[in-house]
Structure 1
Amino acid sequence: MLRPFPFPTILLLAALAAAPAVMAQERMLPAQPPAAPQENVRIDYAKVLSAEPVHQTLRATSMVERCGSASATPVQQEEDRRGLSRVVGAVRDVLTPSENIEEVAPSAGGDCRMVPIEREFRRPIGYDVDYVYKGVKYRSRLPYDPGNRVRVRVSVTPVVSSSGQ
């Protein structure tokens, strides 16, 4: 005749039967994405087609006192000019010292006025370089003139899509 198991023994057996399933769930790690492929890098040379300097233009204006004798009449000279020559002449008069105005000390009774003098400075900031590598033409801005050839960084990495194809 079979004796029934006592109630606490049945609970103990049920807990032991479920323990392996719980332990297996704890051991399973969440699925991690596949590692990114390793990048293959090397240095090579490309043939330079052209290198054009790129300049930055800076303008500075300063005020200079100019004194001239009362006999010079710049207004009469402006009336003789017509159209575009009048505009060009006005710009030239501002940028270059006038030959008709002779320097006179302010105490000698000369006509003194402040004249703006504009100066322009150009400085190189880089080079636009056209070059060919493996039959393909590229353009880059470099801080220096590379000469006949330029070093290029070649990187090859396989494309890995999410579908695995």
Structure 2
Amino acid sequence: MKYYKQLLVAALVAGLVGFSACASAGDSGYYPHDGYDYARVVSATPVYTDVQVQTPRTQCWDEQVAYRQPASPAGAVIGGLIGAAVGNKLGKNRHRGHGYRHRHDRGASTVAGAAVGALVGHQISSANAPTHYVTEQRCQVVEEVTTRRELIGYDVRYRYNGREYLTRTDRHPGDRIRVRVDVTPAW
């Protein structure tokens, strides 16, 4: 019986020592030999950020464009002839009886009348030129801005030795996360 008592006491002491080691080892039940252990993940919440992306895009549309046919040179010629005749007549009437000066001024009046007549004839011819409309495609490059959500990590809540902690990770940790354990003696 004495032998059984010793055996029972030894088993009881070994059980208490094992239970004490498990209780101090954290949720994993493993006491870290290399300074690392695993903690149970309570939650892992994804964290996003919005990123603006600029993309060049060609934007095209149809536009009605008016084209006027070029003015006929006949309008300028006819206007010039009429202007020259009017200028000549005005120069003749204005300087009647002044001799030599009469011919010089009359020639200047004729040239001035021809120039003014040609200009007026061209303007009239241009204003009466037929107009036709054409549909043309116009294009321009525009910057299109879009917003895209990007995953930047996870806010992870985990529990170790009855306490809850929070950290951010680059990827989802799964059901457990590796933690560094530092044990120092308490004096």
Q: TM-score range by the shorter chain?
A: 0.3 to 0.5
Query: Whose radius of gyration is greater, 1 or 2?
Result: 2
Whose helix proportion is higher, 1 or 2?
Answer: 2
Normalising by structure 1, what TM-score? 0.43
